[in-house]
């Protein structure tokens, strides 16, 4: 039996609609019509609010007390996805950071099995490292960072045969030929944790790198004579950029610069969330080092930022309330842009016929009231 969601304003991913209904049958949207034209579907009155495409987060290390590196299992993946769902995230890439090869392989296997078992909201895996630049390691453990060899590229290509893979690497530490091989194998290569020059970043983009990981953070910065990786990200109009809008990782003025420089269709809000996010504890251990939450900021004992305490709805509110950005633009950066990056814009990021019924209902203060993943 078809279900008609009524009584809310609707953002389709393109336009706002009043007095319309979203008709769902199974996991898909059947139609979006005026409420008077719903027909025989069972009506569910949402009693106000804004119904929008659900949020998609391509960088989620943990949440609800769970961390993928700490226990790379299907149950951990399920916990992370379930905890962030309450905050509007209907699609994510659970993220494993730089670690021993065995841990990364277990994480890939667990994400692939979670997808096979139908764990709601899991779209693939983000492998952040270990092929990074020690000079810009951030909270990544230096002992696991290493050069990419031919066999490593083969292994990453093999992982991509089991589930969608996003791989963050340093363009000054990985040869363009290996980047090209990875992209040809279907790996979504992202550039980050790198002291690369503009020329090195540009070579990687030309070799097929598709995005830049958490813009401004853990990368060479833009100066007048050397644009660095940050400058390459802002200057390039085709690559996607993930950005952490939490008030801690990036200054609001720098956020405004990024949003002014890049097409909004290429900007992706991300959380880089850790176990504290989405209902987790104030402290957790990251590869033997204690990470503590203080006033919404996560840091190691030496003050180094260690991921975030962010949820996607909070990132949306930050961009609207603190930066004054247009709500439609922000909602697209939280849904349609990451869907397009993942090559899933034909089924996610819009409220339209034949799209997956993965939706979020927001109240007037942009707090999450309800989520649906594939109609459930």
Query: HEC states along the chain?
Result: CCEEEECCEEECCCCEECCEEEEEECCEEEEEEEHHHCCCCEEEECCCCEEEECEEEEEECEECCEECCCCCCHHHHHHHHHHHHCCCEEEEEEEEECCCHHHHHHHHHHHHHHHHCCCCCECCEEEECCCCCHHHCCCCCHHHCCCCCHHHHHHHHHHCCCCCEEEEECCCCCCHHHHHHHHHCCCEEEECCECCCHHHHHHHHHCCCCEECCCCCCECCCCCCCCHHHHHHHHCCCCEEEEECCCCCCCHHHHHHHHHHCCHHHEEEECCECCCCCCCCCEEEECCEEEEEECCEEECCCCCECCECCCHHHHHHHHHHHCCCCHHHHHHHHCHHHHHHCCCCCCCCCCCCCCECCEEEECCCCCEEEEECCCC
Q: Report, as an integer, the average pLDDT of 184-207.
A: 98
What is the C-alpha separation between 226 and 113, in angstroms, rounded? 44
What is the pLDDT at residue 1? 85
8 Å CB contact between 344 and 166 = no
pLDDT tens digits, 210-257? 999 999 999 999 999 999 999 999 999 999 999 999 999 999 999 999
β pairing state of 368-372 and 240-244: unpaired
Quote the percentage of the chain above a pLDDT of 70.
100
With a cut of 90, say whether residue 11 has pLDDT above it: yes
8 Å CB contact between 84 and 278 = yes
Q: Report, as an integer, the average pLDDT of 2-13.
A: 98
- List all residues 6 or more positions away from 188 whose beta carbon is below 8 Å from its beta carbon: 164, 165, 166, 167, 210, 211, 341, 342
What is the C-alpha separation between 347 and 345, in angstroms, rounded? 5
pLDDT band at 307 (very low <50, low <70, confident <90, very high): very high
Q: How many CA atoms lie within 13 A of 129 on its CB side?
A: 29
User: Could you tell me the domains of the chain?
Assistant: 3-52+353-372 (2.30.40.10), 55-341 (3.20.20.140)
Q: Report, as an integer, the average pLDDT of 365-372.
A: 98
Q: Report, as an integer, the average pLDDT of 273-278.
A: 98
How many CB atoms lie under 10 A from the CB of residue 225?
5
- List all residues 6 or more positions away from 124 whose beta carbon is below 8 Å from its beta carbon: 93, 111, 115, 163, 164, 165, 166, 342
What is the C-alpha separation between 70 and 77, in angstroms, rounded? 11
Catalytic residue flag (residue 272)? yes
- Average confidence score pLDDT of the chain: 97
- Which of 65, 57, 144 is closest to 94 using CA atoms? 57
- In Å, how far are 29, 101, 188, 315, 372 from 26, measured between CA atoms? 8, 39, 30, 30, 11
What is the pLDDT at residue 63? 98
**What tokens were used for 246?**
């939490």
Out of 57, 272, 309, 313, pick the active-site residue: 272
With a cut of 90, say whether residue 33 has pLDDT above it: yes
pLDDT band at 179 (very low <50, low <70, confident <90, very high): very high
């Amino acid at each position: 039996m078809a279900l008609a969601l009524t009584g809310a304003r609707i953002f389709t991913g393109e336009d706002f609609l009043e007095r319309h209904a979203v008709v769902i049958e199974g996991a898909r949207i059947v139609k979006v019509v005026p409420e008077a034209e719903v027909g025989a579907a069972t009506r569910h009155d949402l009693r106000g609010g804004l119904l929008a495409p659900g949020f998609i987060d391509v960088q989620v290390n943990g949440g609800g007390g769970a961390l993928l590196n700490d226990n790379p299992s299907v149950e951990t993946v399920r916990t992370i996805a379930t905890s962030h769902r309450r905050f509007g995230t209907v699609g994510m890439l659970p993220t494993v950071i730089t670690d021993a090869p065995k841990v990364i392989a277990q994480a890939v296997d667990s994400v692939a099995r979670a997808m096979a078992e139908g764990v709601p909201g899991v779209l693939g895996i983000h492998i952040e490292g270990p092929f990074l630049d020690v000079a810009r390691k951030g909270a990544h453990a230096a002992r696991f960072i290493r050069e990419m060899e031919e066999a490593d590229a083969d292994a990453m290509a093999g992982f991509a045969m089991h589930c969608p893979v996003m791989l963050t690497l340093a363009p000054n530490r990985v040869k363009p030929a290996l980047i090209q091989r990875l992209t040809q194998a279907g790996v979504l290569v992202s550039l980050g944790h790198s002291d690369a020059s503009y020329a090195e970043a540009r070579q990687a983009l030309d070799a097929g790198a598709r995005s830049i990981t958490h813009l401004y953070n853990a990368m060479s910065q833009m100066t007048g004579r050397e644009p660095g990786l940050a400058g390459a990200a802002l200057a390039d109009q085709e690559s996607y950029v993930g950005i952490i809008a939490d008030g801690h990782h990036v200054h609001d003025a720098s956020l405004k610069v990024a949003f002014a420089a890049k097409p909004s269709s290429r900007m992706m809000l991300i959380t880089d969330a850790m176990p504290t996010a989405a209902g987790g504890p104030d402290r957790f251990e990251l590869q033997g080092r204690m990470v503590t939450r203080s006033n919404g900021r996560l840091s190691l004992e030496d003050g180094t930022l260690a991921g975030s305490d962010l949820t996607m709805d909070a990132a949306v509110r930050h961009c609207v309330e603190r930066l004054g950005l247009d709500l439609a633009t922000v909602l697209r950066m939280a849904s349609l842009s990451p869907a397009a990056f993942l090559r899933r814009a034909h089924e996610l990021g819009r409220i339209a016929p034949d799209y997956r019924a993965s939706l979020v209902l927001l109240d007037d203060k942009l707090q999450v009231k309800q989520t649906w993943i594939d109609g459930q």
